[in-house]
Amino acid sequence: MSLLIGTDEGLYLVRALPFERDDAELVLDCGMVTGIETYEHTDDVFLSSSSGAYRSSDGGETWMDLGVPVGSRYWHAGESEVWSVLSTPDALYAGTNDPYVYRSVDDGETWMEMKGFRDLPSRGHWESPIDPHYARLRCLESVPGRPEQLIAGVEAGGIHLSRDGGQTWHDRRDTIVDDVHEVVPITEDVWMAATGYLDHTIEKIGLGHAVGTGGLHRTVDGGDSWTRIDVGNPFSYIRNVFVHDGTLFFGGGEEAPPEWVHDDHGAALFESTNFGRTLDRVSYPTEETQVIDTWDVYDGDVICGSGLFDVPDPREDIEGCVMRRDDDGTYHDVGRVPANIGTIATV
């Protein structure tokens, strides 16, 4: 079993855990990796990045550019970036930081923009914290058992839903905080969402940038309403949530990434065996500085990756760390790569 490791500086492949730094092979020089996706309906692996979207049909050894449109937006902004990719049995989807949604029904040969996404009423309020401030379509998901029902999470612009494969969209920004990092649909109606601190309403009335509440949110009615389940958690800048064998996992940081440049933050890892009614804080090897950003399962064990992402001045002293959880709940360092880890996937 191999592991793909997406970093700020490209995609690495390791063929076993644990691994030494020299064992990590750079297999795709694509800039910052924003997502790696695998699916039960296909053996292909899909990747989104600052240089485009890619597909591998050989377990991550080689990659093909899917040709998602990333032409120049404005003279001062350069090319768009692909922040999310979704495969369903009938179509491929990609989300950019324009933000636009694209769909392909011929396996990536051609792409069409789903222009209904531009018509969402709240679109004029969306904004990214990173210059030039175009919002990122950070996650695209399909509802379990309903491949035509799509979920889009915007950083920062809330959550939006489509029931017809992306042709038309329903604005749900008013149901959850603006700064959506990830949505994990567990069943048709039960989803989890990891969020951050950017709140456009608070910012617009002069109370400052990135002073929202963030946190981990849950819906039990298919996105009609959301409830924060980690109320009181100070480590509420959360990028990823993971569910495996009845246990809920997530890592969080204090403050937003700009405060992490000089380690002016804390970080924490939480587990819950009762779906968030109680949270247990768990120690991990890099908790003094690094925030956990990604999860998967390797040979039956939960694994995760950490780093310091989205800091204004990337730190050369940070090595991304892969950790493995033992049966007794202890996390161990099983290998490092020379850049922040944003996403991992077993293949």
Q: E strands within 15-167? A: 25-28, 33-39, 42-49, 52-56, 64-65, 82-87, 92-96, 101-104, 112-113, 136-143, 146-155, 158-162
CA 48 to CA 31: how far, in whole Å?
10
Find the Cα–Cα–Cα–Cα dihedral 47, 49, 51, 55, rounded to 10°.
0
| Cβ contacts of 56 within 8 Å, gap of 6 or more | 44, 45, 47, 62, 63, 64
Interval 123-148: pLDDT, tens: 998 988 776 678 999 999 999 999 99
Helices (H), the chain: 200-204
pLDDT per residue, tens digit, the chain (347 aa), is 999 999 999 999 999 999 999 999 999 999 999 999 999 999 999 999 999 999 999 999 999 999 999 875 554 456 789 999 999 999 999 999 999 999 999 999 999 999 999 999 999 989 887 766 789 999 999 999 999 999 999 998 999 999 999 999 999 999 999 999 999 999 999 999 999 998 766 555 444 555 678 999 999 999 999 999 999 999 999 999 999 999 999 999 998 887 788 787 899 999 999 999 999 999 999 988 899 999 999 999 999 999 988 777 777 788 999 999 999 999 999 999 999 999 999 99
Q: What is the pLDDT of residue 291?
A: 94
Question: For residue 59, how many C-alpha atoms fall within 13 Å in the half-sphere facing its CB?
Answer: 8
pTM, two decimals, is 0.94
Radius of gyration of the chain (CA): 19
Structural domain boundaries of the chain? 37-338
Find the Cα–Cα–Cα–Cα dihedral 164, 165, 170, 176, rounded to 10°.
140
> Based on the number of CB atoms within 10 Å of its own CB, is 339 exposed (0-12), middle (13-18) or buried (19 or more)?
buried
From 267, 250, 268, 251, select the one nearest 259 (Cα to Cα). Answer: 267
* Three-state secondary-structure class, residue 301: strand
- The one-character DSSP state at 314 is -
CA 252 to CA 7: how far, in whole Å?
18
Q: How far is CA 105 from the centre of its chain?
A: 24
324 and 306 Cβ atoms separated by less than 8 Å: no
Q: What is the pLDDT of residue 152?
A: 99
> Based on the number of CB atoms within 10 Å of its own CB, is 207 exposed (0-12), middle (13-18) or buried (19 or more)?
exposed
Element (H, E) at 333: strand 331-337
Q: In what order do the strands lie in the sheet with 170-171?
A: 136-143, 146-155, 158-162, 170-171
- The one-character DSSP state at 72 is B
Structurally, at CATH architecture level, domain 37-338 sits in: 7 Propeller (2.130)
Q: What is the pLDDT of residue 315?
A: 75
Q: What is the pLDDT of residue 73?
A: 55
CA 249 to CA 296: how far, in whole Å?
11
Q: How far is CA 88 from the centre of its chain?
A: 18
| Cβ contacts of 75 within 8 Å, gap of 6 or more | none
What percentage of the chain has pLDDT greater than the value 70? 93
- What value, to the nearest 5°, has the Cα angle with vertex 108 and ends 57 and 188? 85
